Amino acid sequence: MVTKSKKIDLSKSENFNKSKKIFTKNRILVAITIILISFLAYGTKVYFDFKKMNDTFHEGFDTGKSDLREEQVDVSKLHPFSILLVGVDEDPVSKGPGRSDTMMVVTLNPKVQSTNMYSIPRDLRVIIPGYEKKGYQKFNNAYFLGGTQLVRKSAEKYLDIPIDHVLEINFQGFVELIDALGGITIENTLEFTLGGYDFPLGKIEMDGQKALVFSRMRKEDIKNGDFGRQERQKQVIKEIVQKTSNFSNITKLSKIFNAVENNVKTSLYLDDIMDIREKYSSATSNMTSLQAKYGAGVFKDKLDYVTMSHEERLIVINTLREHLELPIKDSSEYPNKDDEMMSGKVK
């Protein structure tokens, strides 16, 4: 530390003034260097965190191009595309395949600025590809037999559309994702109590666990049963998508990814996810739930099945195909008998 002396006034010294200027410049340079290193260190940490999450998310889910596509879709080029969402009732450390509690096909088209959501009933009566000899089964048995990849093949077979991407999330990931978002607000249209939670009519703020109970409720919905449950799940997904799209801070995004990295598997890379978030925002802000009409239930082998008529299935198929900008199918391309239609023989 330099001090002034009564005998010698160093401040008037030419050498002292030069040294002071050099010291000041060096101090500024050091400060700038420290700031730059801090930003670089943070950026490097974020990069490696994201790379690690990228690898974790994508492990075992490199689905490749759909067999129903001539070329792979490219979300960076704003192609309309579809994604299969599978919610799984299993713990990430548990053994065994678990059960698919939710199966939803989502199509996004940035050109028309809209998103369609179609929930596949768990009890839909189908023949699962590769298991034709087993006869009719419930759609959600596909996950038990072959995981999300077989659910994808079954959805493509039944809906006659390419499934471009898949995303699987277990209940723990669902809860942690909503908590990372700071909770969600849902407009509830059916009053009920379940799992220690009250769900009055109107807007309800929910954390992850409460939202899970809300989205899984079925038996209390006497009128709509599983179909009412599907609509509640769509409500929750809409709120998650809209709230996530408002997150622009990289720290907040990192928090979300950290919350779900061990509970989510997807064919999407993080670059794809960021492209969708940025370039498809007009589409995700306009989400429509497709409502299908189902026939009378079938009771066989002590199991209840859901059926869909040939005409109704064709409506769903063409609604999704049109949204993906694919050629519309004619009824002559499908057999007329429901048993044939549900047998998986449709190409």
CA pair distance 238, 62, nearest whole angstrom: 26
pLDDT at position 62 is 67
Please work out, in degrees rounded to the nearest 5, the angle formed at the alpha carbon of residue 182 by the alpha carbons of 84 and 176. 50
Contacts of 39 (CB under 8 A, 6+ apart): none
- pLDDT 10s digits, 27-49: 555 555 444 444 444 444 444 45
Percent pLDDT > 70 in the chain is: 72
Q: Which two tokens stand for residue 143?
A: 């996950």
CB hemisphere CA count around 139 (13 angstroms): 27
CA pair distance 79, 272, nearest whole angstrom: 12
pLDDT at position 223 is 79
Please, what is the angle between helix 171-180 and helix 225-245, to 10°? 40
Calculate the CA dihedral of residues 212, 164, 131, 310 and round it to 10 degrees: 90
pLDDT at position 192 is 94
Q: Which two tokens stand for residue 149?
A: 């990849």
Report whether 98 contacts 169 (CB < 8 A). Answer: no
Spell out, as residue ranges, where the chain has pLDDT lower than 70.
1-60, 62-63, 90-98, 245-254, 296, 335-347
Residue 170 exposed, middle or buried by CB count within 10 Å (0-12, 13-18, 19+): buried
Give the pairing type, strands 197-199 and 125-126.
Answer: unpaired
Map the chain to HEC letters: CCCCCCCCCHHHCHHHHHHHHHHHHHHHHHHHHHHHHHHHHHHHHHHHHHHHHHHHHHCCCCCCCCCCCCCCCCHHHCCCEEEEEEEEECCCCCCCCCEEEEEEEEEEECCCCEEEEEECCCCEEECCCCCHHHCCEECCHHHHHHHHHHHHHHHHHHHCCCCCEEEEEEHHHHHHHHHHCCCEEEEECCCEEECCEEECCEEEEECHHHHHHHHHCCCCCCCCHHHHHHHHHHHHHHHHHHHHHCCCCHHHHHHHHHHHCCCEEECCCHHHHHHHHHHCHHHHCCEEECCCCCCCCEEECCEEEECCCHHHHHHHHHHHHHHCCCCCCCHHHCCCCHHHHCCCCCC
| Among 291, 314, 316, 296, CA closest to 306 | 296
pLDDT at position 108 is 95
Phi, psi of 131, deg, nearest 5:
-130, 35
| Domains, in order of start, for the chain | 60-341 (3.40.630.190)
pLDDT at position 240 is 85
State whether the Cα torsion 237-241-242-247 is positive or negative. Answer: positive
